[in-house]
Amino acid sequence: MAKLSRSTKEIIKTIIVLGIIAMLVLVFVIYPLNKTKDIMGRPDIDDIAEDSLIINDPGAWAEAGLVTDTFRVEVDGLTSLACLFVCPDTTADTTSGTIILTHPHGADRDAVLPLAQTLLDSGWCILAADLRAAGRSSGSYRGEGQYEAEDFASLVSYAEIHDQIRHPLVVVGFARGADGALIAAESEPRVDAVIAIDPYLSTDRALQILRRQAKAYWFPFYKSIMWWWYDIRSGYAAAYRTADHIEGVEKPTLVLMPEHDLDVREVNVLRERSEADKLTVESLPPADDRLYERLVEYISALK
């Protein structure tokens, strides 16, 4: 067999090197740059006009026969939260309290309408909001709880000024909304209790969950690379949170987690750092009707 010439060997080496460079660019640049939009962007990111707000229409809530007061809360000059407020057909003196209610990942406030109706039947006023970068609220990129905590603080201040708070004030959140509720309650004295449904608890866990939900491929340094590209895309990535950053709860708090996540490190740290009589950690009910029953049961005990 004839030996390869020196120039042929050099060409092969060059092709191999270029192939490796192309693969690295694909794995660490092109793929994560595209996936950050799927993972951290709003579901309709390609269809919205960033220079105009979506009409804050009560939509399904009005169709359900509920008389709502719609309003917007300006958070940071860039974020406008679309909200609505509705109370049961009773007087302010006889209402059970106020619940700030947000929605699961990938949805908007219409997704929690059945839960809101259940809570209204129990005498609670409901303040429902579309989280940033969801529904009728502004923003192209979501957070993983830290910016949502600032949103909650602004929402509570607005509600107090407009006489929409009846105590106890309970914040109910799912996923990033759950993290936002937990973080906001640490420094917001007007929040009396929190219900956190499948919170992330750390940026580490958030990126793991979101990767699975988006069916994204793992690659070396996945979390660091994704967070870096998210920061570039959104322009406002918050500090990276690990389990060591978790603060214990000091107010009545119900945390509902999937059965397989009850013993993850973040949950164990939360247990260790919280007041034992304030924190309740339970398995997330598998059906919505049982979830609603548990929420009503827990909230009713706060009165």
Q: Are residues 210 and 271 in the same domain?
A: no
- pLDDT of 91 above 60: no
Q: Is 7 contained in some domain?
A: yes
Q: Is 46 contained in some domain?
A: no
- Judged by DSSP in three states, 31 sits in helix
**Would you give the DSSP letter of residue 260?**
G
Q: Which pair of tokens denotes residue 285? A: 């009910």
Rounded average pLDDT over 11-40:
89
Q: Note whether 131 and 142 are within 8 A (CB).
A: yes
Question: Which pLDDT score, from 0 to 100, does residue 116 have?
Answer: 95
Q: Are residues 187 and 293 in the same domain?
A: yes
Q: Are residues 137 and 224 in the same domain?
A: no
State in Å, rounded, how far the first CA of the chain is from the last one: 89
Minimum mean pLDDT range among 14-23, 48-57, 228-237, 251-260: 48-57
Mind listing the pLDDT tens digit for each residue in 115-134? 999 999 999 999 999 999 99
Domain that holds residue 32: 1-40+203-238
Q: Are residues 234 and 248 in the same domain?
A: no
Q: Are residues 95 and 137 in the same domain?
A: yes
Q: Are residues 13 and 115 in the same domain?
A: no
User: H or E stretch including 102?
Assistant: none
- pLDDT of 90 above 70: no
Query: Which residues, listed in sequence order, are joined to residue 196 by a DSSP beta bridge?
Result: 173, 255
Q: Are residues 28 and 59 in the same domain?
A: no
Q: Are residues 91 and 215 in the same domain?
A: no
- pLDDT of 50 above 80: no
Q: Note whether 112 and 102 are within 8 A (CB).
A: yes
Q: Are residues 25 and 56 in the same domain?
A: no
Question: Which pLDDT score, from 0 to 100, does residue 299 have?
Answer: 92
- pLDDT of 92 above 60: no
Q: Are residues 180 and 147 in the same domain?
A: yes
Where among 188, 213, 238 does a domain terminate?
238
Question: Which pLDDT score, from 0 to 100, does residue 302 have?
Answer: 85
Q: For the chain, give me the number of helices (H) and strands (E)?
A: 10, 8
Q: What is the mean pLDDT of the chain?
A: 91
Q: Note whether 228 and 215 are within 8 A (CB).
A: no
Q: How many domains does the chain have?
A: 2
- pLDDT of 1 above 50: no
Rounded average pLDDT over 78-87:
93
Q: Note whether 153 and 188 are within 8 A (CB).
A: yes
Q: Are residues 128 and 71 in the same domain?
A: yes
Q: What's the CA gap between 268 and 271, in Å, rounded?
A: 5
User: H or E stretch including 128?
Assistant: strand 124-129
Q: Note whether 210 and 195 are within 8 A (CB).
A: no
Exposed / middle / buried, residue 189 (Cβ in 10 Å: 0-12, 13-18, 19+) = exposed
CATH number at residue 151: 3.40.50.1820
What is the sign, positive or negative, of the torsion defined by CA atoms of 54, 57, 58, 64? negative
Q: What pLDDT band is residue 217 in, cutting at 50, 70 and 90?
A: very high
